Structure 1
Amino acid sequence: MTAIKFAWSAVGGDPALVSRVSTVVREGALPGRLPVRELARACVGACALAAAELGARRAGLAAVPAVQVDDGAVATAFHSERHLLVDGRAPVSFAPLSRLWPTADGWVRTHANYPHHRARLLGALGVSEDAEAVGAALAERTSAEVEESVTAAGGLAVALRTPEEWAAHEQGAEVARRPLVERARLDDAPARVLPPTGTSPLLPAAGLRVLDLTRVLAGPVATRTLALLGADVLRLDPPHLPELPDQHADTGFGKRSALLDLAADRSVFEELLATADVVVTGYRPGTLDRFGLSAPALAERRPGIVVAQVSAWGAYGPWARRRGFDSLVQAASGIAAIEGPKRAPGALPAQALDHGTGYLLAAGVLRALTEQSRDGGSRLVRLALARTAEWLVNGLPAGPRGDVTCDGPGPWLAERDCTLGRLRHALSPVSFAGGPGDWARPPTNWGSDPAGWA
C-alpha cells in the first residue's frame, strides 16, 4: 500500500482513509522492468478513494465506502485503446512514422499520428512521406540535431536519454524538484454547497459541469472518469484540429463532444463557463492564456472554479512550451533505455504515463471539490507526464508477487451499440462500494453535439 499512500498524500488526502482501500494483486499485470503495476494501482486507488470520499460527503454517509483496486481491471483499463473494437475492427494506435529510429549517434523517438505533426516532421527532414527516406535522413544526423530541428519546425522528436542524462538535463532536474501533484488555492471564494446525491448508484460528481479542453490521452482519461462518476462533461475542440476517430471512441465514453472556435465564439464559451464547476485543459502551458483561460483568469470570472491542467513536460523549465506525448516522455526520461533489451530501447507495457496521470488528475479534481465544499476557494490542480515518469523511475519500489495470475482482460470488457457502431471497450477500474460499473452513455460522434450543457 506504500504507493497508494503516496499518491493519496499527493492529492491531499487524509492518510487514515487509506484503510478503506483493498487490493487484488495479480502477477503478470503490466509486466516491465520498472514497477508499472504499482504505479497504475496507486493512481487508480487514489482516484477511487477520492471518488468514494466525495460521494460519502454528498450522500451523507457515515463512512467512506470501501474501495477495491484489482490489478486485472487496472491492466485492462491501461490498455483501453488496445482492447477497443469498432464493429469488430481493431484501431491502429501508432502511425508508421511514430516510432523509435536509429541516428548517427543513438536513437530518437518521433510522433506523427496527426497529419500536421507528420507534415512538420517531413518538412524538417526534407524528405517525402516514405519510411525508408525518413530512416535514411535520421541515420545521417545526431539525435540532438534531430530533436532541435524537428522541434523548431513544430514537429515532435526527442532524443533517447538514459536516466542519468535526463537527471543532468535542465528540464529533468526541474521536473524532479516539483511535487507529483501541484495543488493551489487561487482565491477566497466562498464554499460552494454541493447538492445531496442519491446512493443507487453513488455518483460523486452528479450534477457537476466539466468543460473538457483536452486531447491525447491523460486529459481525456481524467474527464472520462469524471463522466463515469456522474459529471456532465462537455468536450470542446477547435474545428481546425480534427481528432483521430478511434482515439475519440476510446476516451469519449460518458461525454458529449462539440466544436467551438474560442476566438470567434468567445461569448458561447463565457456562457458555458458561467455555470461550470470544473475546467480541464491539456494543451501546452500558456497556449490557452490568450483566450483568458489561465487559472487566475478563470477564477476571476468564475469564483469557486476548479482548474485542472495536464501537460507533457510541466509548466516550468526550458521545455515548458514544448509539445509532447507519453512515448516521447518515455524516451527523454530514461524509461525507454531501461525497458529496452541490451542495445535497443524499449517501451512500457502500456501508455502508463498517460493513463496514470489521467487518473491522478481526476483524483486531484475530486479532492479539490471536497476541500472546496468545506473551505471554499477556487482551486488549481496541475500534473505533468514527465513528473509521473520521475516517480516511476526514482520513487516507486516493486511490490510483492501476486497470489493469482493476470490471465487477460477477463470480465473487464463490455460491449454496446452507439452511433459509432458496435463497441467493445474496457470498463473503468475505478471501483468503490455502491459506485457505477459502467458509463451512463457511450461516446457520440466527434463534434456532433451542441456547445451547451445537457
Structure 2
Amino acid sequence: MTGIKIAWSALGGDPALLPRVSTVVREGALEARLPVRELARACVGACALAGAELGARRGGPAAVPDVRVDDGAVAAAFHSERQLLVDGRAPVTFAPLSRFWRTADGWVRTHANYPHHRARLLDALGVPDDVTAVEAALAERSSLEVEETVYGAGGLAVALRTAKEWAAHEQAVAVAARPLVERERLDSARTRVLAPLDATPLLPAAGVRVLDLTRVLAGPVATRTLALLGADVLRVDHPQLPELSDQHADTGFGKRSTTLDLVAGRRTFEELLAAADVVVTGYRPGALDRFGLSPQALSERRPGLVVAQVSAWGAYGPWGERRGFDSLVQVASGIAAVEGSMEQPGALPAQALDHGTGYLLAAAVLRALTEQSHEGGSRFVRLALARTAEWLLNGMGAGAAGDNSYDGPGAWLAETDSSLGRLRYALPPVSFAGGPVDWARPPVPWGTDPARWV
C-alpha cells in the first residue's frame, strides 16, 4: 500500500478519490536512509485531497478537483524554517545548547531553544550557561540518568536508542497501538452548514474560524495550511511566553497573532470560543485541561466544534505528559541511529515528523469539516510525532521511481514585503486545480492583533 493510500485511509477518506492525486517524483529530494520523501509526499497529498474534497462539498466544482503533488515543492516546504530570509538574514534554527552530547555510555540530545527550557536544563545539571560546562557534566553521567534528571526538572533531553530498543519501550508500545490519525465523534451536534463557494481561487476553509493554540512546529504548520485554504486563523499565545521570532515568521503566513492570559482574559477567550469553528492545540497533553480546554469541555461549551490536538509522544502511556520536539523524537525512536549509528547519530534531512504531522493534522481538520457537513457532531482528531515516526520506521508504503531530478528549492521560493521586513519563503506545497498558490497575507509581528474575530 502506498503512503498516500495509508494516510488517506487513516483520515477516513473515500478510496475512490485517490485517482485524483498525481505526483511529480524528483530523485534527490529529501534524501535519507528512511523513506522521508515518500512520507512527506503522502502527508501533503492527503492534505491537498482533503482540501479539494471539502471545496467540492461546499458547492465549488462539480467533481473533486485534481491534486498535484510535486516533490520539489514538498522538499522546499519541509525546509521552510531554513528557507526563510528576513531582510536577507538567515534564520536561527537551533540554540547552542540544543544538540547531541556524549555521555558516559552513549549520547543524549537536548532541546533548549526557549529560555525557560534552557534554564531548566542548566538547573538540572547544576552548571552555568556554558557549552563546555554542560559538555563536562553530561560526559560523567549515563544517558538514561540525564534523560530522567532533566525531564524531572522540566527540561528536555532524551537518550539515543536503537529502533529495536524503542520498540520495546512501554511508550512505543502504547504509540504503536494507536491509529496514525485518531478520530472521534464527541456528540450529536447538528449538521454543519458552510456557505457555498463561488470565488476564485477555491478556498475550501473560507469562513471557518480557527483558534490556534499551538507552538513549534507541527501545530503551526497545520494552522498555516488552514490559513492558506481560506480559514480565519487567530494565533493565541500567553503574553509572557513569546514565540521565537524567526519561527513565528515562518509559520505565521496567512494568520493573525494575539496574546491572551487564559486566566485574566477568560471572558475574552470564551467570546472567541463562542464564535470559533475549530480549536487546534499543540501544548503538552493535559497542560490546557485545567483551563477548561479539554476536547470534551470545549465541545460542551461550543457544540459542533472541531478540536484538533498534536503532541510529541502521544497523550497516553508513561510519557504521555512529557514535553517533546521533532529532534528528540528522532533520537528516542531510533531514527537518529538509523540515519547515522549508535556511535555517531544522524538526523532526517528535514524536521519531517513536525512537517508531516502538521499536514496530516490540517487534513484531519478538513476531513472533519467535510464529515460534519453531512453527519454533524463535534469532532476530535489527535496526532503524535512519535506515531508518525513509527509509521516512517515500520509502515511506509514503497515509493515510486521518477525521471525528474531535484535541483534545489529555487523554483518553489518567493519573496514579499511585510511588517517584519522583506521575506524570502517557501511556497505552500498543497496544490489542487483552482486552489490557492500562495497565502493571502504575510506574517505579522508576534502579538500585534486584537483578541477578536474580524
TM-score by length of 2: 0.99
Equivalent residues in 2 for 1:406-445, closer than 5 Å: 406-445=406-445
**SS of the residue 1:279 aligns to:** strand
In 2, are the aligned partners of 1:310 and 1:384 still within 8 Å (CA)?
yes
In 2, are the aligned partners of 1:199 and 1:434 still within 8 Å (CA)?
no
What corresponds to 1:383 in structure 2? Answer: 383
What corresponds to 1:226 in structure 2? Answer: 226
What corresponds to 1:3 in structure 2? Answer: 3
Within 1, Cα distance between the matches of 2:221 and 2:322? 21
Give the drift of 1:92: 1.3
Say whether 1:350 aligns with 2:356.
no
Within 1, Cα distance between the matches of 2:236 and 2:6? 33
**SS of the residue 2:400 aligns to:** coil
What corresponds to 1:198 in structure 2? Answer: 198
What corresponds to 1:335 in structure 2? Answer: 335
Residue ranges of structure 2 left out of the alignment (5+ in a row): none
Within 1, Cα distance between the matches of 2:101 and 2:398? 30
Cα distance 1:375–1:50, how it changes in 2: closer, same or farther (>3 A)? same
Say whether 1:103 aligns with 2:94.
no
For these two proteins, the number of residue pairs brought into alignment is 454
Within 2, Cα distance between the matches of 1:297 and 1:136? 47
CA RMSD of aligned residues (A): 0.9
**SS of the residue 2:58 aligns to:** helix
What corresponds to 1:312 in structure 2? Answer: 312
In 2, are the aligned partners of 1:34 and 1:398 still within 8 Å (CA)?
no
Counterpart code for 1:337 = A
Which whole-Å deviations, capped at 9, do the CAs of 1:385-405 have from their partners, x for residues lacking one? 000000000001441332111
Counterpart code for 1:416 = T
Equivalent residues in 2 for 1:364-375, closer than 5 Å: 364-375=364-375
Give the drift of 1:168: 0.6
In 1, are the aligned partners of 2:3 and 2:398 still within 8 Å (CA)?
no
What corresponds to 1:13 in structure 2? Answer: 13
Counterpart code for 2:6 = F
What corresponds to 1:126 in structure 2? Answer: 126
In 2, are the aligned partners of 1:103 and 1:139 still within 8 Å (CA)?
yes
What corresponds to 1:275 in structure 2? Answer: 275
Which whole-Å deviations, capped at 9, do the CAs of 1:96-120 have from their partners, x for residues lacking one? 1100111001110100000110010
TM-score by length of 1: 0.99
Which whole-Å deviations, capped at 9, do the CAs of 1:321-370 have from their partners, x for residues lacking one? 00000000000000000001572000000000000000000000000000
In 2, are the aligned partners of 1:223 and 1:362 still within 8 Å (CA)?
yes
Within 1, Cα distance between the matches of 2:136 and 2:401? 44
Which whole-Å deviations, capped at 9, do the CAs of 1:250-274 have from their partners, x for residues lacking one? 0000000000000110000000011
Within 1, Cα distance between the matches of 2:192 and 2:164? 46
Counterpart code for 1:22 = S
In 1, are the aligned partners of 2:175 and 2:386 still within 8 Å (CA)?
yes
In 1, are the aligned partners of 2:185 and 2:378 still within 8 Å (CA)?
yes
Equivalent residues in 2 for 1:230-241, closer than 5 Å: 230-241=230-241
Identity of aligned residues (%): 80
**SS of the residue 1:411 aligns to:** helix
What corresponds to 1:178 in structure 2? Answer: 178
Within 1, Cα distance between the matches of 2:44 and 2:400? 18
Within 1, Cα distance between the matches of 2:372 and 2:284? 26
Which whole-Å deviations, capped at 9, do the CAs of 1:371-415 have from their partners, x for residues lacking one? 001100000000000000000000014413321110101321110
Within 1, Cα distance between the matches of 2:382 and 2:408? 33
What corresponds to 2:31 in structure 1? Answer: 31
What corresponds to 2:214 in structure 1? Answer: 214
Which whole-Å deviations, capped at 9, do the CAs of 1:51-74 have from their partners, x for residues lacking one? 000001113422100000000000
In 1, are the aligned partners of 2:60 and 2:198 still within 8 Å (CA)?
no
Tell me which stretches of 4 or more aligned residues in structure 1 moved more than 2 Å: none
Counterpart code for 2:37 = R
Counterpart code for 2:216 = V
